[in-house]
Amino acid sequence: MSHHHANHNKQSRRDFLKTTAAAAAAGSVPFWFATGADQARAFASPSERPVVGCIGTGSQWQGYDGPRALQFFDCVAVCDVDTLHAGKAHELVKKQQGKKGKGVKVDVGGDYRRVLDRKDVDVVTVVTPDHWHTKIAIEAMQAGKDVYCEKPLTLTIDEGKQIIKVLEETKRVFQVGTQQRSEMRLNFLNAVAMVRDGRIGQVKRAICDIGSEKPGGPFKKIPAPPNLNWERWLGQAPLVDYIPERCHYQFRWWYEYSGGKLTDWGAHHVDIAQWAIGMDHSGPTTVEPAHFKFPVPFKNGYPTVDDAYNTPVEFTVRCLFPNGVEILIVDHSPDNNGVLFEGTKGKFHVGRSSKSFYGKPVDELKTRPLPAGLITQLYKGKKPGRHMGNFAECVKTREQPVSDVYTHHRAITTCHLANIAMRLGRSITWDPEAQQIVGDKEAQKWQSREQRKGYEINV
């Protein structure tokens, strides 16, 4: 990737927005949007930098989203229901904003509404557990903020429809944190381009190996620690006794707050698979749970014990799409974590490391590179390489970033359907046009969930 070195700081905000808008209208990319430090430099002078409030500041925010957001935005507020997380986030912000941020007072609290009510906040990052994403993201858009929200965006299919409704009403800029679209050596972007360019002939099947989680429990119920507002952490989910393993990173393995591996890693690999096969604005017609195993007994779709992980530890789910392509979602495969694409003229595997991107079509790229412009076209005319940078750029141009809500909602719907099919132990028929489960009244009810009083989502 080329890096253009120039001093962009002198450009006034008005000129910047004018030239950016003109470039966007002309379909060209402003040359200063390179990757790395150069991309951040376009946001260097204080008057150019939008102001961010960070809601949810646990390990994902501290290790990934937070440091990246601070390259492009000035942070004035951090918010978490765990005071230890909020405190660590405050330290990170102070350290990274350094001299430049001296004049910026950072508000530290536990109530996200305080962040949304601030008129000076342009942008929010939402890096909470999954069951909080939709409510906060919707209220942020309604408060006039642009949103960077971690994946998976939703807890249910209906939540995705609600986010889209509010996005269309508010016209905010919204990036979902599926960083595979932008980063990981651009392996996945290249893989999508290869399939679209016919490198494996007509695509027949994609196998998404999303890994498995070990069973866990029974766990002890204990009083919640004083640093954590447990009732608030639970939000829309049922009020239950505190178990440390329900909280923070491990929330992923409880259906009350997430969808297990299906939404944790499916959000990445199923997204890439649907994008590659051209079904990123559609969905499967049937979802068949060929094999699955839960770590605890289930009855009528619900776990019968409340002190152990309850999302599936083994699974093979077949998803058939209207174009005849099959996506297989599995907990393990001979090729390991990643996506294996199979077509009439060959196959290849893509994962996050250089060693996991292989197959004859990959080798052939050396002698027969992808057509010029195909990657840029897939990346909506922008220069790929940094997910947060793409969001920041779109905050200025008012375009939707590469990981937009529409396509993410479609990919995560497939994952939600897979979970519903396993929980009920039968195949699901889905109408991707109407976005509705067909001919199964019980399964239809699972497109939404009851929300605890006081934590409902209002749109």
Indicate the pairing of strand 123-126 with strand 146-149.
Answer: parallel
Please report, rounded to a whole number, the percentage of residues in the chain having pLDDT higher than 70.
89
In CATH, the number for domain 184-380+405-445 is 3.30.360.10
Mean pLDDT along residues 117-130: 98
Return the pLDDT at 7.
36
C-alpha 86/C-alpha 294 separation (Å) is 35
Q: Model-level pTM?
A: 0.91
Give the tens place of pLDDT for each residue, 265-290: 999 999 999 999 999 999 999 999 99
Give the tens place of pLDDT for each residue, 136-153: 999 999 999 999 999 999
Mean pLDDT along residues 177-188: 97
Domain coordinates in residue numbering, the chain: 13-182+388-397, 184-380+405-445
Return the pLDDT at 148.
99
Q: Do domains 13-182+388-397 and 184-380+405-445 have the same CATH topology?
A: no
Question: 25 φ, ψ to 5°?
Answer: -65, -35
Mean pLDDT of the chain: 92
Return the pLDDT at 98.
76
Mean pLDDT along residues 119-130: 98
C-alpha 293/C-alpha 296 separation (Å) is 9
> Are the beta carbons of 151 and 172 closer than 8 angstroms?
no
Q: Please state, in angstroms and as integers, the Cα–Cα distance from residue 297 to each residue in 221, 302, 322, following that order.
A: 20, 8, 34
CATH class of 13-182+388-397: alpha beta
User: With 90 as the cut, is the pLDDT of residue 201 above it?
Assistant: yes
Give the tens place of pLDDT for each residue, 391-426: 999 999 999 999 999 999 999 999 999 999 999 999
Show Cβ contacts of residue 89 under 8 Å, excluding neighbours closer than 6 positions.
54, 57, 61, 62, 66, 78, 80, 108
Mean pLDDT along residues 233-260: 98
